[in-house]
Chains A and B, each alone.
Chain A
Amino acid sequence: MKSKMPGTLPECEMEAPENSRRNFLKQSALITAVALTPAVATKAADMHVDEKIAEAFEKLPIKFEVNGVQQSLSVEPRATLLDILREQLDLTGTKKGCDYGQCGACTVHVDGHRVNSCLTLGVMVNGKKVTTIEGLAKGEELHPMQEAFLKHDGFQCGYCTPGQIMSAVACIREGHANSETEIREFMSGNICRCGAYPNIVNAIQEVKEGGHAV
Chain B
Amino acid sequence: MEKITLDKGAPEGLSRVDGRMKVTGRAKYSAEYKVAGVTYGVLAGSTITSGSIKTIDTKKAENAPGVLAVITYLNAPKIPGYQTETPAAKGALKIFYDDKIFFNGQPVALVIADTFERALFAASLVKVTYNATTFQTNLKSNLSTGVSPHNGPDYLRGSGDAYKNAPVKVEQEYLIPTEVHNPMELHAIIASWDADDKVSVYDKTQGIKSTQRSIAQAFKLPQENVHVMSPFVGGAFGAALRTWPHEIAAVLAAKVVKKPVKLVLSRADMFTSVGYRPHTWQKIGLGATADGKLTGITHEASGQTSVYEDFTEGVVNISQLMYACPNVNTKYRLVSLNVNTPTPMRGPGEATGAFALESAMDELSYALNIDPIELRMRNYAETDPQTGKPYSSKFLNDAYKIGADAIGWSKRNAKPGTVKENGWLAGYGMAAGMFGAYRGSATVVARLLADGTLHIETAVTDIGPGTGTAMTTIASEVMGISSDKVNFKLGDSTMPPSPTQGGSSVTATVGSAVSDACTQLKEKLKELNGNSESASAGYAQILQQHNLPQLEVTVTSKGGPELGKYAMYSWSVHFMKVLVHPVTGVVKIQQGLSVADAGHIVSPKTARSQMIGGSIMGAGMALMEEAVIDHRYGRLMNNNFADYHVPVQADIPQIEALFVNKPDPYLNPMGAKGMGEIATIGVAAALANAVYNATGKRVRDLPITPDKLV
- The residues of A with any CB-CB pair to B shorter than 8 Å are 4, 6-10, 13-14, 16, 19, 22, 51, 54-55, 76, 78-79, 83, 86-87, 90-100, 102-103, 105, 132-134, 136-137, 142, 146, 149-153, 155-162, 165, 180, 183-185, 187-202, 205-206, 209
Contact = CB atoms under 8 A, between A and B. Distances in A.
Interface residues of B, number: 84
Given A92-B25, A146-B24, A205-B8, A100 B463 contact: no
Most buried by B among A51, A137, A158, A201: A158
A190 B633 CA distance: 32
Is chain A's interface secondary structure helix, strand, loop, or mixed overall?
loop
Given A87-B116, A158-B27, A161-B22, A152 B10 contact: yes
Interface in B14-42: 15-16, 18-29, 31-32, 34
Nearest to A199: B609
B613 interface: yes
A9 B48 contact: yes
Is chain B's interface secondary structure helix, strand, loop, or mixed overall?
loop
A133 B25 CA distance: 6
A29 to B, nearest CB: 14
A102 B640 contact: yes
Given A196-B609, A197-B649, A98 B267 contact: yes
A189 to B, nearest CB: 8
Nearest to A153: B609
B674 to A, nearest CB: 16
Contacts of A193: 181-184, 235, 237, 617, 646
Contacts, number: 221
B615 A100 contact: no
A198 B652 contact: yes
A158 B264 contact: no
B60 interface: yes
A96 B649 contact: no
Contacts of B232: 157-158
B380 to A, nearest CB: 30
B609 A156 contact: yes
Interface in B599-631: 605-606, 608-610, 612-617, 631
Interface string B430-464: 00000000000000000000000000000000011
Given A6-B631, A100-B641, A159 B117 contact: no
A83 B116 contact: yes
Nearest to B655: A198
B650 interface: yes
B612 A83 contact: no
Contact of B132 (A9, A153, A187): A9
B632 A191 contact: no
A142 to B, nearest CB: 7
Given A78-B121, A162-B25, 8 more contacts: A7-B634, A14-B124, A102-B641, A142-B23, A157-B185, A184-B650, A193-B237, A201-B649
Interface in B172-203: 181-186
A204 to B, nearest CB: 10
23 contacts: A6-B631, A7-B49, A9-B47, A22-B65, A86-B31, A94-B25, A95-B184, A97-B186, A100-B642, A155-B23, A156-B235, A156-B606, A156-B610, A157-B232, A180-B654, A184-B649, A189-B648, A193-B235, A194-B235, A195-B612, A198-B6, A198-B653, A202-B8
Contacts of A158: 18-19, 21-23, 27, 232, 234, 464
B134 interface: yes
Nearest to B29: A159
Nearest to A165: B23
B115 interface: yes
Contacts of B563: none
Nearest to A12: B47
Given A153-B11, A161-B22, A193-B184, A95 B234 contact: yes
A24 to B, nearest CB: 14
Listed from nearest, the 8 A-B pairs whose CB atoms lie closest are A93-B25, A159-B234, A195-B616, A158-B22, A195-B613, A157-B464, A133-B25, A102-B641
B23 A156 contact: no
A157 B649 contact: no
A55 B23 CA distance: 38
Contacts of A142: 20, 23-24
Nearest to A19: B64
Contacts of B8: 202, 205-206, 209
B633 A156 contact: no
Contacts of A180: 654
Most buried by A among B233, B613, B633, B642: B613
Given A7-B135, A200-B649, A137 B182 contact: no
A4 B132 CA distance: 13
A54 B631 CA distance: 45
B11 A190 contact: no
B511 interface: no
Nearest to B185: A159
A93 B24 contact: yes
B466 interface: yes
B34 A103 contact: no
B596 to A, nearest CB: 15
B133 interface: yes
Contacts of A188: 648-650
A22 B66 CA distance: 13
B50 interface: yes
Most buried by A among B20, B642, B650: B650
Contacts of B50: 7
A188 to B, nearest CB: 4
Most buried by B among A9, A134, A159: A159
Contacts of A16: 60, 121, 124-125
Contacts of A93: 24-26
Contact of A160 (B28, B184, B650): B184
A134 B25 contact: yes
Given A87-B116, A100-B642, A153 B605 contact: yes
Contact of A157 (B125, B133, B234, B608): B234
B642 A102 contact: yes
Most buried by A among B117, B465, B614: B117
A191 B464 contact: no
A150 B22 CA distance: 9
B272 to A, nearest CB: 15
B559 interface: no
Nearest to A202: B8
Given A102-B640, A157-B464, A195-B614, A152 B26 contact: no
Contacts of A190: 648-649
A206 B640 CA distance: 33
B356 to A, nearest CB: 23
Most buried by A among B19, B22, B121, B654: B22
B130 interface: yes
Contacts of B653: 198
B669 interface: no
A151 B32 CA distance: 26
A142 B64 CA distance: 45
Contacts of A90: 34
Most buried by B among A78, A100, A142, A197: A197
Contacts of A78: 117, 121
B142 interface: no
A118 to B, nearest CB: 10
Nearest to B60: A16
Contacts of A132: 25
Nearest to B20: A150
B60 A150 contact: no
Contact of A153 (B15, B20, B182, B184): B15
